[in-house]
């Protein structure tokens, strides 16, 4: 595996492979790699001829009181993991190489950059969009791989890529979780055992909202209240935001449809964590017209339209499509 330290080296590496007809997959990271990053590298290796993993703790996406200085840096371990998962190269530039002296140009995706994480971390998405655009220009990848855990970031980068006509496909990979449900994050290392236990409220809220959506519940007010109730039981966890939004615009919605994003961010001690789910249950597609399959006995027990009136009706098949009385307009009730 090659270690590339400058933009010039990365560009030369990429163009040599592209001229030979090989596709390039880029996995942008800030290092401190874990199993979630490993899944991105595997996905890239499965669909691209050559994979490069960037390791760069980007100063422009951190606020003045955030954890830039203490963000975990584990370069040797990161290289070993990346190579074991199929990466052909590591790009590890200096700050000076990506941000030359006197640089004044930034990429700001207006509107989107001020929503969700952008609202509580001013300038964060400006820094993300700027560094990722620089990586795209330097690496010239065919595909770039990101985790769904950073769903708001994905929305910003999709918009940026479209607006700037960049020939890069954004590939989003599923969230990877620990056995207890906590979404993997390089910042989980900051958590004490007690804080880690409290942090599980984020994944519990995600699961609760997914479960309600699976039953056909679409109302944002109901879904968000269910999440808030779970957080209320863990007062030590401070909510940053709990939101139900359109994934493309990050604007709030009143009702969920397939593809709606439920997202939450919270502070567990001093550590800010995020989690989310893309709601895709079939039950959201036509919730007012869902039909239920029940045996005659089940329909009788649950108050469905009517009992079989004679033996002939009882033989009309043990499973029928029927609509509960409680779901009919009141004018149709007998």
Angle at 255 between CA 175 and CA 261, to 5 degrees: 15
Query: Could you tell me whether strands 237-245 and 260-268 are parallel, antiparallel, or unpaired per DSSP bridges?
Result: antiparallel
Place of tokens 């596709």: 23
DSSP-based three-state secondary structure for 305: coil
Instruction: Tell me the backbone φ, ψ of residue 36, rounded to 5 degrees.
Output: -65, -45
> What are the b/e assignments for 38-74, b being 16+ CB within 10 Å?
bbbbbbbbeebebbbbbbbbbebbbeeeeeeeebbeb
Q: Are 157 and 132 in contact (CB under 8 A)?
A: yes
Q: Are 65 and 82 in contact (CB under 8 A)?
A: no
Distance CA 97, CA 165 (A): 24
Q: For residue 75, what are the contacts with CB-CB under 8 A and spacing of at least 6?
A: 31, 55, 92
Structure tokens at 218: 């679409």
DSSP-based three-state secondary structure for 241: strand
Distance CA 332, CA 52 (A): 64
Catalytic residue, chosen from 17, 34, 37, 124, is 37
Structure tokens at 233: 């039981």
DSSP-based three-state secondary structure for 122: coil
Q: Residue 37 catalytic?
A: yes
Q: Are 125 and 155 in contact (CB under 8 A)?
A: no
Distance CA 143, CA 40 (A): 11
Instruction: Tell me the backbone φ, ψ of residue 199, rounded to 5 degrees.
Output: -60, -20
Distance CA 290, CA 258 (A): 15
Just list the catalytic residues: 37
């Amino acid at each position: 595996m090659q270690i590339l330290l400058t933009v010039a080296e990365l560009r030369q590496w990429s163009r040599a492979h592209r001229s030979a007809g090989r596709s390039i997959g880029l996995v942008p990271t800030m290092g401190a790699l874990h199993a979630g990053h490993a899944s991105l590298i595997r996905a890239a290796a499965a669909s691209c001829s050559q994979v490069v993993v960037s390791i760069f703790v980007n100063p422009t996406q951190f606020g003045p009181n955030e954890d830039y200085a203490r963000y975990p840096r584990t370069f040797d371990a990161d290289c070993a993991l990346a190579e074991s998962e199929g990466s052909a190269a590591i790009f590890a530039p200096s700050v000076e190489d990506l941000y030359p002296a006197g640089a004044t140009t930034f990429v700001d995706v207006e509107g989107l950059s001020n929503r969700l994480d952008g609202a509580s971390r001013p300038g964060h998405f400006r820094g993300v969009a700027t560094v990722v655009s620089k990586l795209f220009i330097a690496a010239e990848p065919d595909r770039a791989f990101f985790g769904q855990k950073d769903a708001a970031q994905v929305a910003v980068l999709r918009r940026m890529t479209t607006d700037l006509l960049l020939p890069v496909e954004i590939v989003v990979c599923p969230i990877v979780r620990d056995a207890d449900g906590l979404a993997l994050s390089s910042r989980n290392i900051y958590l004490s055992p007690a804080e880690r236990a409290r942090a599980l409220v984020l994944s519990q809220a995600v699961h609760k909202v997914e479960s309600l959506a699976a039953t056909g519940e679409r109302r944002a007010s109901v879904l968000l209240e269910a999440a808030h109730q779970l957080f209320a039981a863990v007062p030590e966890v401070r909510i940053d935001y709990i939101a139900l939004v359109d994934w493309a615009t990050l604007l709030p919605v009143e009702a969920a449809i397939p593809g709606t994003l439920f997202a939450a961010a919270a502070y567990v001690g001093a550590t800010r964590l995020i989690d989310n789910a893309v709601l895709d249950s079939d039950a959201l597609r036509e919730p007012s017209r869902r039909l239920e399959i029940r045996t005659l006995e089940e329909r009788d027990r649950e108050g469905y339209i009517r009992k079989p009136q004679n033996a002939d009706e009882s033989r009309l098949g043990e499973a029928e499509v029927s609509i509960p009385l409680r779901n009919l307009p009141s004018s149709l009730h007998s």
